[in-house]
Structure 1
Amino acid sequence: MGTLDWLIVAIYGGIVIAIGLAASRKQSNTDEYFRGSRQLPWWAVGLSIIATSFSAASLLGGPGQGYNHGFLWLQLQLGDLLGYGLVIALFLPFFVGLNLTTAYEYLEKRFDAKTRSLGSFCFLLFVISRLGALLYGASLVVATVTGIPLAIAILIVGIVSIAYTVTGGITAVVWTDVLQFGMIFIGIGAGIWAAIHGVDGGFGALWQAAGEGDKLSVINLSWEPKNIYSLPTALFGYGIFAFAVAGTNQQSVQRYVSCADVPSARNAILVGWFSGFIGVAATLLLGVLLFGFYSLNTGLPEAVTGDKILPFFIVNQVPAGASGLLVAAIFAAAMSSIDSALHSVSTCMTVDFYDRYFAKNSKLDSLTVAKLLIVVWGILGILSAFYVASTEEDLLPFLVTYSAIFLGPLLGIFLMGVLLPRINANGAFYGTVVAVILIVIGTETEVLNNLGIWRSALTVPTAILLGYGISLFGGIPPRRSLKGLTLWTKEPEFKPIGRPGLGDDDDDEEYDY
């Protein structure tokens, strides 16, 4: 990293901070801070959806996956398409049509307050496991390119992330996500350019070396339940997990509800998936070309594996200018995920807990509380990053494994609400609690560990069956209370009924279903 590289990083960072500060001046209430007053364009929301999930872990882990496994990770994008399709079909009309701020408000409308709190709590557990990996991914790059200890890098990245996120609401987050996603592609392009110009024969030589190393396979049709690189597992096992992430994760839902209407939200989701497909393909291509690069040149040191391959390439092979673009891209990927995670968890805590239970007896307004919560959760994220660093696991598999523990049961609650009118509040709550306990206990057993990514596909029906069984011992939810909240009960239609003997005066009309 030379002067030019650091100048590029500094200019990029200044632009991002300027966007956040400009947006913060327009925030006067929580609707603007949390949903952008539902005036954000769907294409920007779509790019923000994928930028949120396209973290530093993706930008570091993607080339590592391409280097080790070729294009096989691309199969998971088919699982993502299945997950997003189910969200559009089952959940989107409720999230946008009911004018929600958090996904878990639906659970109170359909069940009760305790079920809403449980769903929100599951999301918080998911975020703390993910946030640590996001901070670690960015910190790894900082430590590599500057030579400072990883622990110091984690503290620096964490503090900067907290300071930036507090200044901006969802409007700033979305627009910086758009900028950051563009920066990611510029950085990947710089890495590909550096690899191509680093060998005689250019792209053709790299591609040939990758082919000889069996790194060009895209599809693996074998049935291997524990192997995420097999198509059935990637499509269905990961697809259920992707359904949980896209349909119950407040980071995604907060973007849907920032759209003006259901068609706009649907367009945003489809743009997000397509952009993600292109982004993942580009990072895998970079990894495949790096395999060719190091096959034709001196190989990688034994200690450089997985997520460390791209930082090693940046430090040792990428020329001035291109290094700055790559590092800026990794920072962009980190910030687009970290700010989203902190902002969404703040929204969730403020709306689902503070506003719901404490606001009436507090002197603090909701906007102040939301910003304070960003600081608190940022500190928790830093502590989580230290834990992730101690595990020495590859980032992408780590994120998938730990996220499945919390999001599988959460998906079960929403499916109970949308698909099964017979399930009551107690059934949904206690069925989910038991399912979470079972999966946490099961993570220590060989049987559940052998299921790999299929754990989500197992815990979802487990939660639903438990919820339905418990509901049979309780009352049947009144049909009137279900209207507009399940796929089988339409929105209530209000018809004026004139009171007998009082004529047709509107003031004397009563309304019935």
Structure 2
Amino acid sequence: MGTLDWLIVAVYGVIVIAIGLAASGKQNNTDEYFRGSRQLPWWAVGLSIIATSFSAASLLGGPGQGYGHGFLWLQLQLGDLLGYGLVIGLFLPFFVGLNLTTAYEYLEKRFDAKTRSLGSFCFLLFVISRLGALLFGASVVVSTVTGLDLAIAILIVGIFSIVYTVTGGITAVVWTDVLQFAMIFVGIGAGIWAAINGVEGGFGALWQAAGEGDKLAVVDLSWDPDNLYSLPTALFGYGIFAFAVAGTNQQSVQRYVSCADVPSARKAILLGWFSGFIGVAATLLLGVLLFGFYSLNAGLPETVGGDGILPFFIVNQVPVGASGFLVAAIFAAAMSSIDSALHSVSTCMTVDFYDRYFAKNSKYDSLTVAKFLIIVWGILGILSAFYVASTEQDLLPFLVTYSAIFLGPLLGIFLMGILLPRVNANGAFYGTVAAVILIVIGTEIGWLGNLGIWRSALTIPTAVLLGYGISLFGGTPSRRSLAGLTIWTKEPAFKPIGRPGLEDNRDNDDEYDY
């Protein structure tokens, strides 16, 4: 890292902080802080959707995947398209049309308060576990390419993310995500430029070497449930997992509900998918070209592989200037995920717990509480990253398992609510709890050890079947808990006349006949 490289990174940091400060002047209430008053342009929300999931691990893992497997990882984008398509068709009209702030408000409207709290709690467990890993992964890369001590890198990444997230709310998060996604492409472009100019013959020579190494394949039509690089597994196994992430993850839902209406949210989702497709393709292309580069130029140690290929290339091959853009891109990829995690956790804890249970008897307004929670969870995330650094454990398998354990049953709750009018509040709640317990036990004793990406495909129907079965032993849901809240009962909800005190759903009020 030369002076010019540090200057590029510093300028990027100043711009991010400036966006946060500019947005802070407009954050006067929770609707502005959590949803941007639903005035954010759909194209900015769309880029923010993909930037949120495009972490530092994505920027490093993409070139590693391209180096080792060519373009086969691109097949997973078809699974993402399936997942987003299901969200658009099933969930989006309810999330945006009901004027929600969190996805889990729907669960109270359809079921009851305890089911809403359960859904929000499952999401919180998922994000909290992920936050430390995001901070640690980003900090390792920053430490490697800059020479900074790992502890200092963790503090820099963590504190920087906290400052602009707490300052500007969702508006700052979305607009910095747009900047960060643009910076990611600038960084990838700098890496591709360095690789092309590092060999005689340029792009043509790199492409030919990659072809000779069988790195140009895009599709694998073989049926292998254990192989994520086969098209059926990438489309259906990963597609179901992507549906769970895109449909129940508040980090994504918060973007949808920040759009002005359903058509705008639909366009934002489709733009997010397309941008992700281009972004993944670009990182894979960089990896394929790096394979060609090191095939023509000796110098990649056998101990370097996977996520370590790009940092090694930056340190040893990328010239001054281009290194700064690549490091800034890694910062951008890291913070676009961290800021979203912090803001979504704060939103859920404020809206689903503080506003729901404590605000009436508290002297603190919700906006103050939300900002305070971002700081608290940012500090906890930093401490979690230090813990991860001390254990030196491999987190990827754990995080995949953890995501399936909580997001799979969480998707089951929403599917019960939207698709099955017969499911009542107790069925949804206790069926989901039972499903989580069964999955945890099955994982611990080895029943589910070999399912891999298909684990979500098992956990979702498990929760749905248990929830439906338990519901059969109870009353049918009330008319008010169904009207406008399922795909089969689209008539608008009504207010009961002369029957006060029905704020909570009841399983035996105004029953439908089935």
Q: Partner of 1:247 in structure 2?
A: 247
Decide whether aligned partners of structure 1 residues 386 and 441 sit closer, same or farther in structure 2, where only a CA change above 3 A counts. farther
Decide whether aligned partners of structure 1 residues 386 and 440 sit closer, same or farther in structure 2, where only a CA change above 3 A counts. farther
Q: Cα offset for 1:441? A: 2.0
Q: Partner of 2:122 in structure 1?
A: 122
- Asked if structure 2 preserves the Cα contact closer than 8 Å seen for 1:307 and 1:394, the reply is no
Q: Cα offset for 1:454? A: 0.3
Asked whether 1:481 is paired with 2:481, we answer yes
Decide whether aligned partners of structure 1 residues 440 and 387 sit closer, same or farther in structure 2, where only a CA change above 3 A counts. farther
Asked whether 1:231 is paired with 2:234, we answer no
- Asked if structure 2 preserves the Cα contact closer than 8 Å seen for 1:195 and 1:290, the reply is yes
Q: Cα offset for 1:126? A: 1.1
Q: Cα offset for 1:459? A: 0.1
The residue correspondences of 1:161-310 to structure 2 (distance < 5 A) are 161-310=161-310
176-185 vs 452-461, which deviates more?
176-185
| Structure 1: 5+ residue stretches without partners | 498-513
CA distance in 2, matches of 1:71, 1:157: 31
Q: Cα offset for 1:132? A: 2.2
CA distance in 2, matches of 1:447, 1:213: 38
CA distance in 1, matches of 2:360, 2:399: 38
Q: Partner of 2:468 in structure 1?
A: 468
Q: Partner of 1:433 in structure 2?
A: 433
**In the alignment, residue 172 of structure 1 is paired with which amino acid?**
A
- Asked if structure 1 preserves the Cα contact closer than 8 Å seen for 2:34 and 2:170, the reply is yes
Q: Cα offset for 1:444? A: 2.6
CA distance in 1, matches of 2:400, 2:218: 20
- Asked if structure 2 preserves the Cα contact closer than 8 Å seen for 1:57 and 1:133, the reply is no
Q: Partner of 1:331 in structure 2?
A: 331
Q: Cα offset for 1:88? A: 0.4
- Asked if structure 2 preserves the Cα contact closer than 8 Å seen for 1:117 and 1:352, the reply is yes
- Asked if structure 2 preserves the Cα contact closer than 8 Å seen for 1:227 and 1:452, the reply is no
CA distance in 1, matches of 2:304, 2:168: 37
Decide whether aligned partners of structure 1 residues 283 and 401 sit closer, same or farther in structure 2, where only a CA change above 3 A counts. farther
CA distance in 2, matches of 1:219, 1:393: 29
> Superposition RMSD on alpha carbons, in Å?
1.7
Q: Partner of 1:408 in structure 2?
A: 408
- Asked if structure 2 preserves the Cα contact closer than 8 Å seen for 1:424 and 1:476, the reply is yes
1:328-353 Cα offsets, whole Å, 9 max, x none, are: 11111111111111001100000000
CA distance in 2, matches of 1:129, 1:72: 29
- Asked if structure 1 preserves the Cα contact closer than 8 Å seen for 2:133 and 2:395, the reply is no
| Structure 2: 5+ residue stretches without partners | 498-514
CA distance in 2, matches of 1:57, 1:149: 20
Q: Partner of 1:64 in structure 2?
A: 64
Q: Cα offset for 1:252? A: 0.5
Q: Report the identity percentage.
A: 89
Q: How many residues align?
A: 495
- Asked if structure 1 preserves the Cα contact closer than 8 Å seen for 2:111 and 2:481, the reply is no
Q: Cα offset for 1:76? A: 0.5
- Asked if structure 2 preserves the Cα contact closer than 8 Å seen for 1:59 and 1:333, the reply is yes
**In the alignment, residue 165 of structure 1 is paired with which amino acid?**
T
Q: Cα offset for 1:480? A: 4.0
Q: Partner of 1:154 in structure 2?
A: 154
Q: Cα offset for 1:442? A: 2.1
CA distance in 2, matches of 1:19, 1:104: 29
Normalised TM-score (structure 1): 0.93
Counterpart secondary structure, 2:444: coil
**In the alignment, residue 415 of structure 1 is paired with which amino acid?**
L
CA distance in 2, matches of 1:437, 1:378: 29
Q: Cα offset for 1:147? A: 2.0
Q: Cα offset for 1:234? A: 0.7
Q: Cα offset for 1:399? A: 4.8
- Asked if structure 1 preserves the Cα contact closer than 8 Å seen for 2:136 and 2:154, the reply is yes
- Asked if structure 1 preserves the Cα contact closer than 8 Å seen for 2:34 and 2:101, the reply is yes
Decide whether aligned partners of structure 1 residues 280 and 392 sit closer, same or farther in structure 2, where only a CA change above 3 A counts. farther
303-312 vs 360-369, which deviates more?
303-312
Counterpart secondary structure, 1:449: coil
1:55-102 Cα offsets, whole Å, 9 max, x none, are: 111101111111111111111000000000000000000000000000
Decide whether aligned partners of structure 1 residues 193 and 401 sit closer, same or farther in structure 2, where only a CA change above 3 A counts. farther
Q: Cα offset for 1:448? A: 1.1
Q: Partner of 1:357 in structure 2?
A: 357
- Asked if structure 2 preserves the Cα contact closer than 8 Å seen for 1:306 and 1:394, the reply is no
163-172 vs 111-120, which deviates more?
163-172
Normalised TM-score (structure 2): 0.93
198-207 vs 411-420, which deviates more?
198-207
269-278 vs 368-377, which deviates more?
368-377
**In the alignment, residue 157 of structure 1 is paired with which amino acid?**
V
CA distance in 2, matches of 1:229, 1:381: 32
150-159 vs 312-321, which deviates more?
150-159
CA distance in 1, matches of 2:115, 2:28: 31
Q: Cα offset for 1:305? A: 1.9
**In the alignment, residue 465 of structure 1 is paired with which amino acid?**
L
**In the alignment, residue 431 of structure 1 is paired with which amino acid?**
G
